[in-house]
Structure 1
Amino acid sequence: MKKNTKRVALDDTDLAILALLQEDASISNAELSERLSLSLTPCWRRRKRMEEEGVIKGYQANLDRRMLGLDIMAFVHIRFATHTDQTPEAFEAVIKQLPEVLSCHKITGDADYLLQVLARDLDSYSDFVESVLRRQLGIASIQSSLALREVKSTSRVAIEGPAMK
């Protein structure tokens, strides 16, 4: 099933708004408009339009996982035995509900899916693999790679435009 995603036309001011919001999502509309030398109402309208069009999907605080006791980050390759039935769709529905899974991507190559999973420790990660992943129908193999060191971690999207260069 192909996801239909339309592109939205954004000008330099829109891109500047997005860059500032990625830097600090808690910025007020008043401060945003001041930093862009734009009056308050047009700034608010632009932000609201980008929210309604789905360019801005939401706002969140970036948390330090280790300070929350989540010391294990695993990258998990999932390979299915067959792709002719509904097992991948059922798997996706389960994965979407799991708070341990930060991201899940359907990929090319030796595996079908790549998951990014957080756990408190190796025992809790092992429990997750045994009690959740191994119980999913149709999975032929599960291969885990544990992160030894986090070199870069961001959810920010590179924004480029004439005003951003």
Structure 2
Amino acid sequence: MSETRTPLDAQDKRLLAALQRDAHLTAQELGALLNLSPSQAGRRRQRLEAEGVIRSYAARLDARRVGLSVQAFVQVAMQSHSPEGAKSFARLVETRPEIISAWTLTGEADYLLRVYCQDLSALNSLIHDVLLPHPSVARVQSQIVMDQFKADAPLPT
């Protein structure tokens, strides 16, 4: 987490905001939005990609339309904080496609996992058959999302 911050000017910030709204924008369209030539806009995008500011491009899927009807946040408290236990737990999290993001935390829980499952039975299985049996896990607490009233938003620029 000690990566160097990339200096961004106003044009870079406008370009990033536009690409977060629509990653399919062409250099021509970006140039028009930024009052730059297409080649200037394209070079800016390439520089931001090369510097790692733009990490990737992805499609956002509708979870329900692909059969994932349960979203939950799962807090995990560890009984052991050994480096080996943490690495083993991180490897487990990496192998599970239903865990779409994970964070280490301060406070009572050590980890927060965001998960999408087909149904409650699949969530129950993830918790009882995968997470709780891990030797370093002491406790798991889940919160099932009833409704997401604000979609995942772009980062502020």
Letter in 1 for 2:14: A
The answer for the alignment partner of 1:77 in structure 2 is 75
The answer for the alignment partner of 2:89 in structure 1 is 91
What SS class does the counterpart of residue 132 from structure 2 fall into?
Answer: helix
Aligned pairs for 1:7-18 (under 5 A) are 7-18=5-16
Q: CA deviation at 1:88?
A: 1.1
Q: CA deviation at 1:28?
A: 1.1
The answer for the alignment partner of 1:59 in structure 2 is 57
Letter in 1 for 2:152: T
Aligned pairs for 1:14-163 (under 5 A) are 14-159=12-157
Q: CA deviation at 1:136?
A: 1.8
Deviations 1:42-87 (A, max 9, x none): 2111101111111101011111111111110111010001213411
Letter in 2 for 1:98: R
Q: Write the distance in 2 (CA, Å) between the matches of 1:16 and 1:138.
A: 45
Letter in 2 for 1:5: E
Q: Write the distance in 1 (CA, Å) between the matches of 2:64 and 2:73.
A: 17
Runs of 5+ consecutive residues of structure 2 not aligned to the other structure: none
Q: Write the distance in 1 (CA, Å) between the matches of 2:10 and 2:88.
A: 42
Runs of 5+ consecutive residues of structure 1 not aligned to the other structure: 160-165
Sequence identity (%): 35
Q: CA deviation at 1:155?
A: 4.3
Letter in 2 for 1:133: L
Q: Write the distance in 2 (CA, Å) between the matches of 1:153 and 1:73.
A: 13
Letter in 1 for 2:120: L
Q: Write the distance in 2 (CA, Å) between the matches of 1:147 and 1:116.
A: 10
What SS class does the counterpart of residue 16 from structure 1 fall into?
Answer: helix
Asked if 1 retains the 8 angstrom alpha-carbon contact of 2:132 and 2:138, the reply is no
Q: CA deviation at 1:149?
A: 1.2
